[in-house]
Structure 1
Amino acid sequence: MKSAGIIIGSIIVSFAFNLFLIPHGIMSSGISGLSIILSMLTSINTGIFNFLLNFPLLILGYMKLGRKFIFYTILSVITISIALYAIPVIKLAEDSILSSIFGGAIVGLGIGIIFRSSGSSGGFDIIGMLLARRKDFPMGTLLFAMNSIVILLSGFLFSWDAALNTLVSIFVLGKVIDKVHTHHVKLTLMIITRKGEEVKQHLLGNVYRGVTVVDSVGGFSNEKSNVIITVISRYELTEVKTLIEEIDPDAFVNITETLEVMGLFHKRQH
């Protein structure tokens, strides 16, 4: 299922490049943007540069983010590279501003789907994932900050009109990613259950978040139970709800959005 999400998101990104961004000289973001620049300068296909530039970052991702993540990322990089090579470059819209807006939005949608499928499209996304895991910053904001180098390069090498259109595209891309990929949004769960120990073990074993367990007594029934309190990211909510329903369908769960988290949120990696 996640592999399908990776492939679909990658193909969406490739269509946005070849139909909206590349025909107007809009650089998009990160390694993909650098690949477009090199392709314009050398006439070598964008997909080839996309694969070559991603290779060292894939090694970094394997070392820091794990085997499963890097497998999905490699799948995305290969899919994007093949799709960029196979999909013809067609100017779908004549207006460059509209193309930068819609192209950025479609790329953001595709990358957001890839992130939600536990992968990345490679390049700056890997660096962004590393920073987001340490600091819990919005992914789109991080990518927008790092992609300033692409904007400057497109301005100096081509034209500042292209640079400004690239800026618009990257800004829209970041906003869409933050709407689709909600890893930085935190939720607090208060779970009242008579199977506290079992729920706790499953949460610790499958979600990798810390939990606090409090003994409680029902105000009406006087039955003993446990209150389990934990903080998760929004994209983990479906998995957690499924775990709770499997163990204790009668559990009472209160879910609230968390404004800010202080202290250790991520489990330390040994």
Structure 2
Amino acid sequence: MNKFYSLAVIFAGSILLAFAFNMLLLPHEILSGGITGIAMIFSLMTPVNAGIWLIVLNIPILVLGWMKLGKIFIFNSIYSVAVTSIAMLYIPVVKLTEDALLSSVFGGVLVGVGVGFIIRAFGSTGGFDVIGLLLTLKRDIPLGFLVFGMNSLVVFVSGFIFSWELAMYTMASIYITGLVVDRIHTRHIKLSLMVVTNKGESVKKELLENLQRGITVTDGEGAYSGNKVKVLYSVISRYELAHVRPLIKKIDPNAFVSISETMEVMGNFRRDTSYQKQPKNSVSA
């Protein structure tokens, strides 16, 4: 049921994106950020629909992401891109209002709502989100900074191709989208995850296979029962929380799980690939 619910949420969010693009943003040549914005530029310069360009531009990015990021995340991202692209082929490109400012504001709000719920369902809209995640695996650069920089490039290009007035409307729309996404799901918040389980090896294996995070494993003992348990500790992003819960529940429904917000993270926040060389019960986070 969780999988079907996630797919339903991603489907609804993707349809909302397509509606906002074709009914509010594209008719006024107001662009979205990222790969979607580039697809919009190409669609305005060529007779090819933006939905087609969205698929073509995302294919190499998603293939690379499939190899480097979690398969469930990439599958959900591919599903979101496909639904958005197909919906953009059938939703007519018409103006709901002649006011470009109103279109940029409400278009930004609707895009933010759609993206926010897609992220909560452990997916993405592809494009720059995936590129940013891939880059953060190599360098310790904030994902938000990377995505904002790439989006700014789209705005800069649109200013030269169309007009700087429309470019400013685009920037306003992107800014509003970011605010709405943060209200729905703030991916920058870090969470401390502690799992106490008697199926430590299975839970550890499942998490390592599906997350780009390291895990510290220690031996524990129940004070009342005297049972030997494993204590797994990791720091994850809020972005990954929706994915972590069902993974743990699938392996050990009786596991004790504690999740708390982390004020600051120092050191390597990504998975340490040297963990395979360390002692079995000491995995660096």
AA aligned to 1:206 is E
- Tell me what 1:35 maps to: 39
Secondary structure of the residue that 1:78 maps to in structure 2? Answer: helix
| Amino acid aligned to 1:204 | K
The match for 1:154 is 158
C-alpha contact 1:207 1:240 (8 A) present in aligned 2: yes
Give CA deviations for 1:46-84 in whole Å, capped at 9, x if unaligned. 112222222222222223225433332222222111111
CA drift of 1:128 comes to 1.9
Using a 3 Å threshold, how does the CA distance of structure 1 residues 170 and 250 change in structure 2: closer, same or farther?
closer
Structure 1 residues 109-188: aligned runs within 5 Å: 109-132=113-136, 139-188=143-192
TM-aligned CA distance change 1:133 to 1:97, over 3 Å: farther
The two structures have a TM-score, normalised by structure 1, of: 0.80
Structure 1 unaligned segments of length 5 or more: list them.
none
Report the counterpart of residue 207 of structure 1 in structure 2: 207
CA distance in 2, matches of 1:171, 1:224: 52
Q: In the TM superposition, what is the alpha-carbon distance from 1:20 to its structure 2 partner?
A: 1.3
CA contact (8 A) 1:76 1:121 kept: yes
Deviating more after overlay: 79-88 vs 99-108: 99-108
Shift in Å, 1:19: 1.6
Whichever residue aligns with residue 206 of structure 2, its letter is: N
Q: Go from structure 1 to structure 2 and tell me whether the alpha carbon gap of 1:130 and 1:68 turns closer, same or farther (over 3 Å shift).
A: same
Give the match's secondary structure for 2:106: helix
SS in 2 for 1:260: coil
Is contact 2:104–2:170 with CA below 8 Å preserved after alignment? Answer: yes
Answer yes or no: is the 8 Å Cα contact 1:212–1:230 preserved in 2: no
TM-score (normalised: structure 2): 0.77
Amino acid at match of 1:207: L
Question: CA contact under 8 A between 2:122 and 2:242: conserved in structure 1?
Answer: no
After TM superposition, give the deviation of residue 166 of structure 1 in Å: 0.5
2:122–2:243: 8 Å Cα contact kept in structure 1? no
Match in the other structure for 1:47? 51
Give the match for residue 103 of structure 1: 107
Q: How many residues align?
A: 263
Matching residue of 1:62: 66
How big is the alpha-carbon RMSD for the aligned residues of Structure 1 and Structure 2?
A: 3.2
Displacement after TM superposition at 1:164 (Å): 0.2
